[in-house]
A and B are shown apart, each in its own frame.
Chain A
Amino acid sequence: MKKAAWLFALSFVVLVDSRYAYAFCGFYVAKADTKIFNKASQVVLARQDDKTVITMVNDFKGDPKEFAVVIPVPTLIERDQVNVGDKKIIDHLDAYTSPRLVEYFDNGPCQLRVLREMQMPMAASRLKSADARADALGVMVQAQYTVGEYDIVMLSAKQGQGLETWLKENGYRLPKGTSEVLGSYIKQKMHFFVAKVNLKEQSKLGFNYLRPIQVAYESPKFMLPLRLGTLNADGYQELFIYTLTQRGRVEPTNYRTVKLPTGMDLPIYLKDHFQKFYRDMFDQQVKKVDLRAVFTEYAWDMNGCDPCAAEPLSFEELRGLGVFWLTQGRPEIVPNPMIGGARDVFVTRLHVRYDAERFPEDLMLQETADRSNFQARYVLRHPWTGERECPATEEYRRAVLRRQETEARQLADLTGWELDEIRKQMELGPKPSPIEEKWWQKIWRR
Chain B
Amino acid sequence: MRSNMVFGRYAERLPKDPRYYQIAGLFSLLLYGVGWLEFDIGAYSIAILLSTVTFVQFLCTKLFSSSTFDCRSALISGLSLCLLLRTTDSTLTIMTAMITIASKFLLTWNGKHIFNPTNFGIIAMLALTGRVWVSPAQWGSQLYFAFMIVCLGGIVIHRAMRSDVSLAFILFYAGILYLRALWLGDPWSIPLKQFQSGALLLFTFFMISDPKTTPDSRSGRIFFALLVAAGAAYVQFVLYRNNGLLWSLAICSMLTPLIDYMSPGKQYRWQIPNTGGQGDVHEESSLAFRPLVRRVG
Please list the residues of chain A having a beta carbon within 8 angstroms of any beta carbon in chain B: 160, 180, 183-184, 187-188, 219-222, 247, 251-259, 289-290, 292-293, 357, 360-361, 364, 366, 368-372
Contact = CB atoms under 8 A, between A and B. Distances in A.
Contacts of B186: 180, 184
A184 B193 contact: no
Contact of A371 (B40, B88, B193, B240): B88
Given A258-B38, A371-B88, A361 B193 contact: yes
A368 B88 CA distance: 10
A366 B140 contact: no
Chain A to chain B: the 6 pairs with minimum beta-carbon distance, closest first: A360-B189, A256-B140, A368-B133, A184-B184, A369-B131, A220-B240
B137 A252 contact: yes
Interface in B181-234: 183-187, 189-190, 193-194, 197
Interface of B: 37-38, 40, 86-88, 130-133, 135-142, 183-187, 189-190, 193-194, 197, 239-242
Contacts of A251: 135, 137
Given A160-B185, A183-B185, 12 more contacts: A184-B186, A222-B240, A247-B130, A253-B137, A254-B197, A255-B137, A256-B138, A293-B140, A369-B87, A370-B86, A370-B88, A372-B88
A366 B133 contact: yes
Given A220-B239, A220-B240, A370-B133, A256 B139 contact: yes
A254 to B, nearest CB: 6
B135 A369 contact: no
Contacts of B37: 256
A368 B86 contact: yes
Question: Which of A220, A252, A253 is the most central at the interface, judged by chain B CB atoms within 10 Å of its CB?
Answer: A253
18 contacts: A180-B187, A183-B185, A184-B186, A187-B183, A187-B185, A219-B240, A220-B239, A220-B241, A222-B240, A253-B136, A254-B137, A254-B194, A256-B141, A292-B142, A357-B189, A360-B189, A361-B190, A366-B133
Contact of A366 (B183, B194, B242): B242
Interface centre among A219, A289, A290, A368 (most CB of B within 10 A): A368
A264 to B, nearest CB: 16
A370 B135 CA distance: 11
Contacts of B140: 256, 289, 292-293
A370 B133 CA distance: 9
Contacts of A369: 87-88, 130-133
A160 B63 CA distance: 63
Nearest to A223: B240
Contacts of A371: 88
Nearest to B184: A184
Contacts of A258: 38
Contacts of B86: 368, 370
Contacts of B183: 187
A221 B238 CA distance: 10
A368 B197 CA distance: 20
Nearest to B142: A292
- The winner among A219, A289, A366 for most chain B CB atoms within 10 A is A366
B132 A184 contact: no
Contacts of A222: 240
Nearest to A50: B240
A253 B199 CA distance: 10
Contacts of B88: 369-372
Nearest to A293: B140
A259 B38 contact: yes
Contacts of B239: 220
Question: Which residue of A180, A247, A255, A369 has the most chain B CB atoms within 10 A of its CB atom?
Answer: A369
A257 B137 contact: yes
Contact of A188 (B135, B136, B142, B184): B184
Nearest to B126: A369
A292 B141 contact: yes
Contacts of B133: 366, 368-370
B195 to A, nearest CB: 12
Contacts of B38: 258-259
B137 A256 contact: yes
Nearest to A255: B137
Nearest to B197: A254
A112 to B, nearest CB: 36
A244 to B, nearest CB: 18
A184 B185 contact: yes
Contacts of A259: 38
Contacts of B194: 254, 361
Contact of B190 (A252, A360, A372): A360
Contacts of B139: 256
A254 B187 CA distance: 17
A304 to B, nearest CB: 18
Contacts of B197: 254
Contacts of B132: 369
A94 to B, nearest CB: 25
B94 to A, nearest CB: 16
A220 B240 CA distance: 6
A267 to B, nearest CB: 26
B186 to A, nearest CB: 5
